[in-house]
Amino acid sequence: MEVYRGAIIAEGFTYGFDAIWGTQNTGWGSQGGTMTTAVEKKAVPYQLEFTWYSLVERTFYTGKWDLDKHTIKRLLDEGFIDQDTHKKDTYHTFIVGLAPQGRVVLWLSGAGNQKEVGAFQAQVATLTKESAYSNAQYMFKDGYADRMLNDPSYKTFSPQTRQKIQTQGYPAPGIYGAYREKYNWRPVVVLQEGEWLDFGWRAYNGEQENIFGKDLLDNPYEQRAIPTFCGFYWRNGNSRYGVWIDAFDEKEIFEVFQKLGKQKDIDLLVKVDAQNTRVSLALRSGTQEFPIGKATVRLSRKIE
C-alpha cells in the first residue's frame, strides 16, 4: 500500500498523512511508518480520512468516516496494567490498517495491548498524475507498481513473504473479514508441576492482549479473534520457563475453531511436560477436543 493522503481529526487537532510515508507492508495490525506528536493531552478523535494506492490492485481508494468516540474514550479511560511496571497505563498510538478492496481498520495500541476501534469501507478513487500533488506523482510513473512488487532490491516484502507470494499467491481479499470473526475462548495451561505466570497473544484481526495476576486467576471466556501467536512463562520453585507458539498453521487453526463454532465456550489448551521439553496443543469445548499439530513452537531452557 502506498499512502497518498489522510488525517485523524480531533477537536483542535489534526494529524495528517501524506506520501512521505511511502510504501507500507508491515503485516496486519503491525506498526509501519510512525510519526510522533508533542506529549500533551488531546481531544478524542472523531474522524478518519484516508486515500491510498493499492500496488497489487493498481487502484486508488479513498474515504472519510466518523469514529466511535465513546468506545475510544472508554478504552483510554480504562487503560490497563502494564506487565513490566505493574502500574496503570493506557493506549497511546493509533494504527491504520489498509487492506485490498478498500478495507480499512483502526486500532488503538499500548504496551502489549491493542484493540480494534473501527472498521470501514473505502471507495475507488480516480486520481491522475496531473491532479496529484508534486510529492505523490512518482506513484503514476509507468511500471512503478510492478517494480515495487517484483524487484527484490526495493525490499517491499521480506524474503519469507515474497517466497510465500510466489508459491501461494496473494491472500484472498475476503480473508480480512474472516480475521475479524470472534469466538468465545480463553487460554488454559496444564502443567505437571508449578504455576503459569502470564499469557499473551496476538490475534489475526490485529488485536493483542496480555493477562497476568488477577486477570489470569479469573480467566473468563471472552469474545476474541483467533490467535496467530501466543506465549507465556511458568514457574516451578525457583526456576522459570518460557513457551512460545510463534505461529499457528492458518488453515488448521481456523478449521478447528470453526468446527467448535461461535456458540460454545472454547479452551485453547496448552499442556507442558515437567522439563519444558514437550508441548501439546488442542482446542476443547466440553467433551470435544481437537488436537492442533501444525503450530511452530519454541521452548526455553530453565531460566534461573
Verify that 167 and 21 share a domain, yes or no: yes
What pLDDT was estimated at residue 150?
Answer: 82
Neighbours of 158 (CB within 10 A): 12
Produce one character per residue of 267-286: b if its CB has 16 or more CB atoms within 10 Å, e if not: bbbbebeeebeebebbbbbe
What pLDDT was estimated at residue 281?
Answer: 98
Verify that 231 and 274 share a domain, yes or no: yes
Tell me the HSE value of 52 on the side-chain side, using a 13 A CA sphere: 30
Task: Point out the domain boundary residue: 123, 155, 175.
Answer: 175
Verify that 107 and 202 share a domain, yes or no: no
Verify that 287 and 240 share a domain, yes or no: yes
Verify that 97 and 209 share a domain, yes or no: no
Instruction: Give phi and psi for 300, each to the nearest 5.
Output: -90, 160
Q: Is residue 193 part of a domain?
A: yes
Verify that 98 and 234 share a domain, yes or no: no
Whole-angstrom distance, CA of residue 182 vs CA of residue 119: 14
Verify that 152 and 219 share a domain, yes or no: no
Verify that 106 and 196 share a domain, yes or no: no
CB 140 within 8 A of CB 148: no
Q: Is residue 281 part of a domain?
A: yes
Task: Point out the domain boundary residue: 127, 159, 175.
Answer: 175
Categorize the per-residue pLDDT at 167 as very low, low, confident or very high, splitting at 50, 70 and 90.
Answer: confident
Nearest to 146 by CA among 57, 25, 20: 57
Categorize the per-residue pLDDT at 41 as very low, low, confident or very high, splitting at 50, 70 and 90.
Answer: confident
Categorize the per-residue pLDDT at 29 as very low, low, confident or very high, splitting at 50, 70 and 90.
Answer: low
What pLDDT was estimated at residue 40?
Answer: 67
Strands 182-191 and 47-54: unpaired
* Helix H or strand E segment including 144: helix 144-150
Q: Is residue 138 part of a domain?
A: yes
Total domains, the chain: 2
Verify that 66 and 196 share a domain, yes or no: no
Q: Is residue 38 part of a domain?
A: yes
Verify that 164 and 249 share a domain, yes or no: no
Q: Is residue 74 part of a domain?
A: yes
State which residues form the domain around 34: 2-175
Q: Is residue 102 part of a domain?
A: yes
CA separation, residue 220 to residues 41, 188, 200, 259, 287 (Å): 34, 11, 15, 21, 19
- Tens of pLDDT, residue by residue over 106-165, are 999 999 999 999 999 999 999 999 999 998 889 999 998 888 888 777 777 777 777 777
Q: Is residue 200 part of a domain?
A: yes
Q: Is residue 304 part of a domain?
A: no
Task: Point out the domain boundary residue: 117, 141, 175.
Answer: 175
Question: Does the pLDDT of residue 233 top 60, yes or no?
Answer: yes
CB 296 within 8 A of CB 274: no
Whole-angstrom distance, CA of residue 81 vs CA of residue 177: 30
What pLDDT was estimated at residue 169?
Answer: 74
Verify that 152 and 208 share a domain, yes or no: no
Nearest to 113 by CA among 183, 179, 212: 212
Question: DSSP string covering 106-121, please?
Answer: EEEEETTEEEEEEEEE
Verify that 279 and 188 share a domain, yes or no: yes
